[in-house]
A = this chain, B = another copy of it.
């Protein structure tokens, strides 16, 4: 199984779900809210890799769940990821004018609309989770636990906490543990949430969750290291535009060779964590191998 052969049809289903859901939503509300929905849609359609929803889908397949069953949760995570990019790009935070080769949300719609579009994406993500109640496979308490997972990993102890440390760290003399702590929260938390989401939705037993957690923690950190490697090679910067503010990064605490070694060891760790899961874990393994070798 290659990452491309796995991901292409599934990213299409994720995008179709996102599109049809937003279309239905647009049709169900007053036309006066159309500009807000357009600003949300602009960033949702920004051409992302859909890595997080893809991880939700792959983790579902690992547990023997049909893909369609977890799409509302996968898209809730993509909403939250998208809001974080919109707010992250704001002048008061990273001050990025472009995102994936297009003007960032506030450059396109203005700061006020970008702030509110981010707020709306975050708020509606929790509404998306309610769609899971229509699926008889998931009991209500498990859906509530999955909703709490989303809040916890997106909140103070997760992504927003990591964002704050990223923004307020103030100097560039980080230690390795500091850089890692920030990355585990800012980037790792929502990746781990994606991997754990299907298990939480079916109320999986602890040993199963333990393997997925080990995998999710490893790929979460590995993804950020691969990002920092690409960043240092200026590959990513090209599509993002020049970085105006210095950020904590592995490049400040490790040599390129050390970063690659750490990346490899994390990916090895991630795939080993799923050894007991057998063939059903192949999609998750393919995603981990993609992170090991990605060039974009």
B-binding segment of A113-121, A232-240, A279-287: A113-121
User: Which residue of B36, B129, B155 is within 8 Å of A161 (Cβ)?
Assistant: B36
Kindly provide the distance from the CB of A276 to the nearest chain B CB, expressed in whole angstroms. 30
List CB contacts (< 8 Å) of A151-176 with chain B.
Answer: 151-152, 154-157, 160-161, 163-165, 167-168
Given A33-B156, A144-B140, A147-B130, CB of A92 within 8 Å of CB of B110: yes
Beta-carbon contact of B119 and A92 below 8 Å: no
Contacts of A122 in B (CB 8 A): 119, 122-123
Contacts of A120 in B (CB 8 A): 155-156, 160-161
Kindly provide the distance from the CB of A40 to the nearest chain B CB, expressed in whole angstroms. 8
CA distance A36 to B25 in the complex (A): 33
Beta-carbon contact of B33 and A161 below 8 Å: yes
User: Which residue of B112, B124, B161 is within 8 Å of A167 (Cβ)?
Assistant: B112
Grouping DSSP codes into helix (H, G, I), strand (E, B) and loop, the A interface class, with mixed when no group exceeds half, is: helix
A246 within 8 A of B: no
A45 within 8 A of B: no
What bracket does the count of chain A residues touching chain B fall in?
Answer: 35 or more
Contacts of A40 in B (CB 8 A): 156
Beta-carbon contact of B115 and A87 below 8 Å: yes
A1 within 8 A of B: no
Beta-carbon contact of B126 and A165 below 8 Å: no
Beta-carbon contact of B141 and A115 below 8 Å: no
A253 within 8 A of B: no
Contacts of A152 in B (CB 8 A): 127
CA distance A118 to B161 in the complex (A): 12
Kindly provide the distance from the CB of A131 to the nearest chain B CB, expressed in whole angstroms. 9
Beta-carbon contact of B93 and A112 below 8 Å: yes
List CB contacts (< 8 Å) of A165-204 with chain B.
Answer: 165, 167-168, 181
User: Which residue of B87, B93, B140 is within 8 Å of A139 (Cβ)?
Assistant: B140
CA distance A111 to B87 in the complex (A): 11
CA distance A118 to B156 in the complex (A): 11
Beyond contacts A30-B157, A119-B122: 12 other A-B pairs, Cβ-Cβ < 8 A, are: A29-B156, A29-B161, A33-B161, A35-B164, A37-B156, A93-B116, A116-B164, A123-B156, A127-B148, A127-B155, A130-B151, A139-B140
